[in-house]
Structure 1
């Protein structure tokens, strides 16, 4: 009997390790058809999920209904499963080196209870080789079992995009891979059971790992080109958005736009590929250049803001600024790797007094993660307002709204290009990337 059939017949369970933006949707979707154990080391998050609440604020309560799932933070309770899905976060440290602690810790938790016949599938974004070279040895050492003989291994990279209500988990083609032909077929059948768009079978685990890490590296490079162009066009005194709209009339022109590049994927994944490349003695030029450009955007924007204040006859040290938006993208609560915080720090280096507001973000999380306090209420005397995130609410604000919160002769910096330049320039000093 295959593990797929055992799961269908409720003879065993799936355990999802890590219940964040990726793990929770997977656990709940599996829970429609199989018995599931959802495991997370954070007890406060588990308590919320037991009450039918998504700590990430992506799913409503209905997503928890009619699911065969138990949530736990007790590692002893996951032994009753046979198919383990590891979906813990993989980020970078302050030196921009891959932080493998969460995925290695999850490997230890699973390795301690791994049994003959079990499957372990990793979903976390890693560099090619990490699953087999870093995680597998832990599984074998702690379990005393051998891959192929006693258990199977797989990799199926996550592709969930926070805030995207159209391309949800079941509507995305899923890449799957396995340690051998049997593992690939069983893993494919299990995932295919919950998907509408089906699966793509990668020839190896390394191919699947590489496919995931280059998806966001490609986006990072495309955006970095737009950011570099925006710096060039600013010196030429031409509007980047107008240039891109004109160029975009050509059928094969790719439509990317400049901006802050944060979040848990695009600003992180390239560093995993850079890390592995350097281990191999390769020094990637293009990928590294793209990262330098995108990481340097907060400094460029802050310098531009200070120059504009001076041009308006204001001393930056006596000025007050408001940053609208701190999440890494519009209409989500996710603040991971928010480059808005870097912008905040760059602005304060010019002695500008800066406030941050964002109704989507948790003030407690912002304070805990970045040591920055968000304002409880917006003032009426800002010299500078930076619209950093394109939240839907901000798109509907008008010139009168901004005049009510600013001093005389204010500056509006529109990083997402959500307002009409011609209209706004008639009312105040306006600039966009």
Structure 2
């Protein structure tokens, strides 16, 4: 018996199979699926690294970053941001590189570099422009470039596309296509991870939109939302963070009013929150790379069209002013103890948000600087931050843990809501006789029973 013959497909099935393979090979999506072409992720930070690793579970990926030290760590399966574990690297078809030549073989590019602001609160597009130029040097006919970096509406088509066309000497939608799919990474959040957050996608034409949709749909369990056009996708990302900025700003302003009226803000919010349609936001510091940065991109863009953004600018002023408000509150509460000449303050937490190691754009740093200007002796503790990085960035010594052996403090500021801090039993014993606890987030009241407790 011819056993091989028992497994042969009918002639019509063979033809259909060949046609399907031929179709796949004729499309960029098919080439990526068959790993006949690779994709490149440019920028391997909070956004780019998880994106690259998830894409590498389905496709052949080049993970690129200009930081060679970061690449060496990634080659050892170490995430410099401490967001991913060694397990996340296992079984992924990815090659990490800091050499630009390694981008040349890719046909699908995703750019995920930072888009910060400068000292004048203006958009700093230099990292994005440099990354775009690098991709343009390697761009070929039939390629597609997707941007994930947060920008103002119109940036992709008005800033990035001209760079791609000028350097590559190719034409958009004739020789190559582009798309925009804003990142939605939330550092420190182990529940809302990359695959569980719906992805917005957009493209410069219908073919590009289908391609980008298919690629993201293949790795994002939550699915995708196809935006009407690239500008809509760009605007949606900015709005996501502006909405949070506005709501936190409202809470910050209300907390100042209620504190002046001797009303507990947390109690007010709990009472208001009993209504079904009340949105729970809380007062606090607004730092980091998104909420405290992205509004300036839309503010700057609006000014170019002579549009006033009074609300957005006032909210930014309110949230930026919380540092001064906190410092002034601390000063007012230590001032009656006028016999002391040197106040000792313990700051617990220095990262820009809870449960992350990133110290960049942290508003806690501004609190420390202002307290030092007022001659406070400041000690800083953070179990998540890296002491060497804190010294390098801010010339500030950092302790991993402060104990009773380090003496007593006049003020303890719970600046960041790290999970490790919730393991603390009490802080009364670490405070001087008239010492007090200032809890920015309002989650550590249980740590003091015989000392003054302050919060926003």
Structure 2-normalised TM-score? 0.92
Moved more, 82-91 or 342-351: 342-351
For 1:302 and 1:183, the matched residues in 2 are separated by: 51
Q: What is the Cα deviation at residue 377 of structure 1?
A: 5.7
Q: Report whether the alignment pairs 1:416 with 2:441.
A: yes
CA distance 1:71–1:247, shift in 2 (3 Å): same
Q: Which residue of 2 aligns with 1:209?
A: 234
**Deviation digits for residues 293-331 of structure 1 (CA, Å, limit 9, x no counterpart):** 00000100000001100134454x510111100111111
Q: Which residue of 2 aligns with 1:101?
A: 126
Provide runs of 4+ in structure 1 moved above 6 Å. Answer: none
Quote the RMSD (CA, aligned, Å): 1.3
Q: Report whether the alignment pairs 1:342 with 2:369.
A: no
Q: Which residue of 2 aligns with 1:386?
A: 413
Q: Report whether the alignment pairs 1:81 with 2:101.
A: no
Q: What is the Cα deviation at residue 238 of structure 1?
A: 1.0
Match of 2:422 among 376, 379, 395: 395
Q: Which residue of 2 aligns with 1:157?
A: 182
For 1:48 and 1:173, the matched residues in 2 are separated by: 30
**Deviation digits for residues 326-366 of structure 1 (CA, Å, limit 9, x no counterpart):** 11111111222100011111212221111211110112222
- Rg: which structure is higher? 2
Moved more, 371-380 or 282-291: 371-380
Q: Which residue of 2 aligns with 1:366?
A: 390
For 1:129 and 1:326, the matched residues in 2 are separated by: 35
Q: What is the Cα deviation at residue 283 of structure 1?
A: 1.9
Q: Is the 8 A contact 1:380 1:404 kept in 2?
A: no
Counterpart mapping for 1:261-276 below 5 A: 261-276=286-301
For 1:212 and 1:376, the matched residues in 2 are separated by: 36
Counterpart mapping for 1:207-286 below 5 A: 207-286=232-311
**Deviation digits for residues 372-419 of structure 1 (CA, Å, limit 9, x no counterpart):** 3324663212111100001112123233xx234332221110111112
- Secondary structure in structure 2 of the residue aligned to 1:132: helix
Moved more, 330-339 or 177-186: 330-339
For 1:183 and 1:32, the matched residues in 2 are separated by: 22
Q: Is the 8 A contact 2:383 2:401 kept in 1?
A: no
Q: What is the Cα deviation at residue 46 of structure 1?
A: 0.2
Match of 2:83 among 35, 52, 58: 58
Q: Report whether the alignment pairs 1:67 with 2:92.
A: yes
- Secondary structure in structure 2 of the residue aligned to 1:92: coil
**Deviation digits for residues 219-270 of structure 1 (CA, Å, limit 9, x no counterpart):** 0000000000111011101111111111111111110000011111111110
Q: Which residue of 1 aligns with 2:140?
A: 115
Q: Which residue of 2 aligns with 1:427?
A: 450
For 1:388 and 1:312, the matched residues in 2 are separated by: 23
Structure 1-normalised TM-score? 0.96
- Secondary structure in structure 2 of the residue aligned to 1:99: coil
Moved more, 192-201 or 373-382: 373-382
Match of 1:188 among 213, 238, 241: 213
- Secondary structure in structure 2 of the residue aligned to 1:178: coil
- Secondary structure in structure 2 of the residue aligned to 1:430: strand
Q: Report whether the alignment pairs 1:351 with 2:372.
A: no
Q: Is the 8 A contact 1:380 1:407 kept in 2?
A: no
For 1:230 and 1:50, the matched residues in 2 are separated by: 47
Q: Is the 8 A contact 1:323 1:386 kept in 2?
A: yes
For 1:393 and 1:128, the matched residues in 2 are separated by: 40
Q: Is the 8 A contact 2:152 2:235 kept in 1?
A: yes
For 2:337 and 2:260, the matched residues in 1 are separated by: 18
Counterpart mapping for 1:297-336 below 5 A: 297-313=322-338, 315=340, 317-336=341-360
Structure 1 residues without counterparts, runs of 5 or longer: none
Q: Is the 8 A contact 2:382 2:400 kept in 1?
A: no
For 1:184 and 1:148, the matched residues in 2 are separated by: 12
For 1:122 and 1:43, the matched residues in 2 are separated by: 22
Q: Report whether the alignment pairs 1:144 with 2:203.
A: no
